[in-house]
Structure 1
Amino acid sequence: MTVPFSGIPLADHGRLYALLHDAGFTDLWTSEVAGTDAFTPLTIGAIATPRMRLGTAVAPVFTRGPGLLAMTAGALAETAPGRFVLGIGASSPVVVGDWNAVPFTEPFKRSHDMLRFLRAALAGETVDREFDTFAVRRFRLERPPATPPPILLAALRPAMLRLAAAEADGTILNWLAATDVPKVLAALGDRPEGFDIAARIFMCPTDDADHARALGRRMITSYLTVPAYAEFHRWLGNADLLEPVWTAWAAGDRRGALAAVPDELVDALVIHGTPHQCKEQIMAYVEAGVTTPMMAPLPTPDLTAGGVEALITLIGELAAPSSVERG
């Protein structure tokens, strides 16, 4: 499950994490955009649940210095021994440059450098090295975790996917349909046994298709107009569907961009329906090769009005066996 939940205070999340654990959910995964940081909600999870895996998807490689990112990851790995997974990624020019005042330059090299630095630092090694995008002088963690966390690299296109397969313990995917997974796996090429394929799957658990599609259109115009995601979807073969959206967006026509997003694309990228129908659609990602499907619930009228109690009901419905699992 992607956490934290929108509209629910962080102070109430320990109870929800315990419910997720008892319902059979295995993992809690965070993101880091403009809400909470990626690590604080997982620290709550480390304390509230005894066995759940905790992962960042993702901690940007630009917005913390190498040493600080290693310290933050090491502290959470020590708090939840053997249960923490560090997912890192380049993020975007808006998050990095516009919001954090850090130049967004050479994201591939920065990701490669940070991956290698973190691998050494979290193993307790002294790092004294000139990387392509930064230099580190005699850094060593004072509290290296007894169990260094696996490191997953967020990737969209072939070069970053190959880097993840060569040097990371897994990759994190985002904004793709279940039918896109085989193309991504082919681009990864050879990868070690146990390589994790994690994917965030946006889910609007409502049978009000108009609501789900309106929300999906807003999200698609916000995300898939970002250059990295636009190139990703060109590579996936969605240029014909998205070209009218990109043209309107570039012209400053936000309303026109929204209207140009076809239902076909929304339905492929933002699953919706009853909770059981959503689960069955998530299973399509698993069958395609995703090993860690991360549900990312989106607001519905019922969830917005019902608050914590509505969320508890949703957790129970998602935990119940679907027809696919019963079959």
Structure 2
Amino acid sequence: MRFGYSLGYWRQGPPAGALEAVREAERLGFDSVWTSEAYGSDALTPLAWWGAQTERLKLGTAIMQMSARAATATAMAAITMDHLSGGRFILGLGASGPQVVEGWYGQPYPKPLARTREYVDIVRQVLAREAPVTSEGPFYPLPYSGADGSGLGKPLVSTVHPLRRDLPIYLAAEGPKNVALSAEIADGWLPFLFSPQQSAEAEAQLAAGFALRSGERSPASAFEVAVTVPVELNDDVEKAADAVRPTIALYVGGMGAKGANFHRDVVARMGYEAECDTIQELFLAGRKAEAVAAVPTRLVEEIALIGPAAKIRDELARWEESVVTTILVQGDIRTVRGVAELLG
């Protein structure tokens, strides 16, 4: 089991003490640092800024939203980051949800699996640099062939030679078919709201994808599963849970339309269908404090590491026995130090 440090996405502004925490994570032997984006800060700029002040940490995006950039622009950013970091970049991609994709980026959301497959294929072509990049579409045709185009587009090859043609690509995935797709076409999976108790189901979904994996992809044995895990060290378990409940309530209750919230569906599949309905109803009604209070402690304990150090140390065993290969610790510099001390 490896440990990374997840900074997530910005809220009102840059997270306080981020650079100090990143440097401390590197000093304490963490494997990687990760940033993400929603509809505020982007994932690449903070990662480049903080990553430039480290030497060893792998630099991952968890996640870059596909709808935010053309596939070729994403490949360009990956090549650039990989060169500047000396081969430390990990490209984490995700489809997001319809509210963000259509409401913020102005892109259509239907058929996210087919879109993901086509998008990743284009990125792979750019990284391979074996021939001019082309795509028959239907989502990202290259060259563009629409009736409103000039008809002058031509297939191109990146002017920059990638540092690594096999630069790793991880996919954020929550639904069973999307998890299988990550195993089929990517080098890693970025779960969210994951419980080690789901490990057997996850293994089956990944196996379905591995069975379709083409020969040129890295072997299934090298596949990574990196999951963001909130960590709250506190002798009072309920107070520790209280620090995590708002995040769960936000994703289950408010990050997606009713009937199209994939985060809620993940938690419901854990056996919390009734609780999810209650949280979502309260959150969408504007009763956010009640939605937060409705998050069960046992749910927090399934997807987070909370409580006294001894309790967390004991619970790490179930994560180590799961499909997870890297835990991305979510917290501040005190959390980073606390986890390092736990691992001793």
Aligning the two structures, in what range does the TM-score lie when normalised by the shorter sequence? 0.7 to 0.9
Of 269, 276, 296, 1:242 maps to: 276
Alpha-carbon deviations, 1:260-316, whole Å to 9, x = none?
A: 32222122223312456445534432221211111111xxxxx6xxxxxxx2x5433
Give the structure 1 partner of residue 225 of structure 2.
Answer: 197
Give the structure 2 partner of residue 179 of structure 1.
Answer: 197
Matched, 1:319 2:340: yes
In 2, Cα distance between the equivalents of 1:166 and 1:54? Answer: 23
Matched, 1:3 2:7: yes
Matched, 1:83 2:104: no
Alpha-carbon deviations, 1:79-122, whole Å to 9, x = none?
A: 12332111111112333233333332322122111111111112
**Matched residue of 2:72: which SS?**
helix
Give the structure 2 partner of residue 141 of structure 1.
Answer: 158
Matched, 1:231 2:286: no
* Superposition CA RMSD, Å: 2.7
Give the conservation status (yes or no) of the 8 Å contact 2:283–2:291: yes
Runs of at least 5 residues in structure 1 that lack an aligned partner in the other structure: 298-302, 304-310
Shift of 1:35: 4.8
Distance 1:212 1:13, change over 3 A: closer
**Matched residue of 1:289: which SS?**
coil
Q: Percent identity?
A: 27
Q: How many residues align?
A: 310
Of 317, 330, 334, 1:296 maps to: 330
Distance 1:268 1:321, change over 3 A: closer
Alpha-carbon deviations, 1:52-100, whole Å to 9, x = none?
A: 1111111111111122111111110111233211111111233323333
Letter in structure 1 aligned against 2:76: M
**Matched residue of 1:224: which SS?**
helix
In 2, Cα distance between the equivalents of 1:315 and 1:258? Answer: 25
Shift of 1:249: 4.2
Shift of 1:256: 4.3
Shift of 1:27: 0.7
Letter in structure 1 aligned against 2:6: T
Letter in structure 1 aligned against 2:70: G
Give the conservation status (yes or no) of the 8 Å contact 1:10–1:41: no
Of 97, 108, 118, 1:103 maps to: 108
**Matched residue of 2:234: which SS?**
coil
Shift of 1:182: 2.5
Of 49, 55, 58, 2:63 maps to: 58
Give the conservation status (yes or no) of the 8 Å contact 1:286–1:293: no
Distance 1:248 1:64, change over 3 A: same
Letter in structure 2 aligned against 1:316: R
Distance 1:70 1:171, change over 3 A: same
Shift of 1:171: 0.9
**Matched residue of 1:73: which SS?**
helix
**Matched residue of 1:152: which SS?**
strand
Give the conservation status (yes or no) of the 8 Å contact 1:198–1:291: yes
Distance 1:52 1:8, change over 3 A: farther
Distance 1:43 1:290, change over 3 A: same
**Matched residue of 2:135: which SS?**
strand
Give runs of aligned pairs for residues 39-54 of structure 1, distance below 5 A.
39-54=44-59
Alpha-carbon deviations, 1:109-154, whole Å to 9, x = none?
A: 2211111111111222421122231212224322132213111111
Letter in structure 1 aligned against 2:164: T
Give the structure 2 partner of residue 207 of structure 1.
Answer: 235
Give the conservation status (yes or no) of the 8 Å contact 1:3–1:41: no
TM (normalized to structure 2)? 0.80
Give the conservation status (yes or no) of the 8 Å contact 1:20–1:315: yes
Give the conservation status (yes or no) of the 8 Å contact 1:276–1:318: no
Give the conservation status (yes or no) of the 8 Å contact 1:81–1:147: no
Letter in structure 2 aligned against 1:2: S
Shift of 1:221: 2.0
Give the conservation status (yes or no) of the 8 Å contact 2:35–2:46: yes
Give the conservation status (yes or no) of the 8 Å contact 2:33–2:57: yes
Matched, 1:167 2:171: no
Letter in structure 2 aligned against 1:268: E
In 1, Cα distance between the equivalents of 2:23 and 2:242? Answer: 32
Runs of at least 5 residues in structure 2 that lack an aligned partner in the other structure: 144-154, 211-219
TM (normalized to structure 1)? 0.84
Give runs of aligned pairs for residues 22-41 of structure 1, distance below 5 A.
22-41=27-46
**Matched residue of 1:207: which SS?**
coil
Give the conservation status (yes or no) of the 8 Å contact 1:153–1:164: yes
In 2, Cα distance between the equivalents of 1:11 and 1:265? Answer: 28
Shift of 1:250: 5.2
Letter in structure 2 aligned against 1:146: L
Letter in structure 2 aligned against 1:295: V
Give the conservation status (yes or no) of the 8 Å contact 1:199–1:294: yes
